[in-house]
């Protein structure tokens, strides 16, 4: 549905609704992370309905900020990033030697976190984490082992590691929503791999499922 007033100025609430539609699309696999990052950046730079509309035109929602409001799409849940920044870190390092480690759930990521895996594996899950500061550096060293970092779609993630006879996946890097902490992921994968993935929080996945079950009015 085309907006009848494409030159009308977009409100913050309308930009947030379009951003929410993009987050749902990436969670469902309709967009890859590179395209999601490009569109999300364009959302928060958009000034009019006409600039917002093309960003969701090819997604299974009406293609304008106005029609999203008419549909009755709920306002996005406030992430409250300010409430998740600060506090003493839970730990500053993790090691897996012929074994494994996990950092997940409600833990506090430090300003500098170093993870090492040798013939082992590790998981660093940031979806429910707090952050000691607004900028966090995670250094991953996988030697004949593997490691995965999981981030929510709205977190600012920058990936800059190196793979030597191994892989350091940077496809999930990209900007987050306003106010999101920045997480820089760096390090080395030698005969091993470091993967970075975007996944929705469990509560958010359940909310999306409930919304899809509700019939449109």
pLDDT digits (tens, 9 = 90+) for 15-53: 878 877 887 777 677 877 778 778 888 888 888 888 888
- d(CA 189, CA 139) in angstroms, rounded, equals 11
Looking at the structure, do residues 118 and 197 belong to the same domain, yes or no? yes
In a domain, 207, yes or no: no
Pull the structure tokens for residue 128: 């429910």
pTM above 0.85, yes or no: no
Whether 134 shows a pLDDT value over 90: the answer reads yes
Torsion angle of the four alpha carbons 201, 204, 205, 211, in this order, in degrees rounded to the nearest 10: -170
- Would you state the pLDDT for residue 74? 41
In a domain, 6, yes or no: no
> Looking at residue 78, what is its pLDDT?
42
| Across 182-198, average pLDDT | 94
Which pair of structure tokens corresponds to residue 198?
A: 């975007």
Looking from the CA of 181 toward its CB, the CA atoms found within 13 Å total: 28
> Three-state DSSP class for 46?
coil
Are residues 87 and 111 in contact, defined by beta-carbon separation less than 8 angstroms?
A: no
Tokens of residue 17, six digits: 């609704």
Phi, psi torsion values for 44, nearest 5 degrees: -80, -5
Round to whole Å and give the CA distance between 134 and 164.
30
Shared domain for 69 and 97, answered yes or no, is no
Residues 71 and 28 in one domain: yes
pLDDT of 135 > 60? The answer is yes
Domain that holds residue 21: 12-76
Residue 54 lies in a domain: yes
Which of 76, 97, 122 is a domain's end point? 76
Q: What is the bridge-based pairing of β-strands 162-164 and 182-190?
A: parallel
Indicate whether 65 and 141 sit together in one domain. Answer: no
Q: What is the pLDDT of residues 70-125, one digit of tens each?
A: 444 444 444 578 889 999 999 999 999 999 999 999 999 999 999 999 999 999 99
pLDDT tens per residue across span 144-165:
999 999 999 999 999 988 999 8
């Amino acid at each position: 549905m085309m907006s009848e007033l494409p030159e009308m100025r977009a409100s913050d609430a309308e930009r947030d609704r379009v951003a929410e539609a993009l987050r749902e699309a990436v969670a469902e696999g309709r967009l890859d992370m590179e395209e999601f990052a490009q569109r999300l950046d364009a959302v928060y730079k958009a000034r009019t309905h006409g600039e917002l509309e093309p960003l969701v035109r090819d997604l299974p929602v009406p293609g304008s900020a106005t029609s999203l409001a008419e549909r009755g799409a709920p306002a996005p849940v406030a992430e409250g990033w300010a409430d998740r920044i600060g506090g003493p870190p839970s730990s500053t390092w993790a090691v897996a030697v012929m074994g494994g480690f996990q950092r997940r759930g409600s833990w506090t990521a430090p300003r500098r976190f170093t993870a090492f895996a040798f013939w082992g594996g590790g998981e660093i899950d940031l979806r429910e984490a707090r952050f000691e500061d607004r900028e966090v550096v995670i250094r991953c060293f996988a030697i004949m082992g593997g490691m995965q970092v999981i981030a929510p779609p709205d977190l600012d993630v920058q990936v800059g590691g190196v793979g030597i006879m191994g892989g350091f996946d940077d496809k999930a890097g990209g900007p987050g929503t306003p106010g999101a902490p920045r997480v820089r992921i760096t390090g080395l994968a030698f005969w091993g791999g470091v993967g970075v993935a975007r996944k929705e929080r469990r509560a958010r996945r359940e909310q999306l499922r409930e919304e899809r079950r509700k019939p449109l009015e």
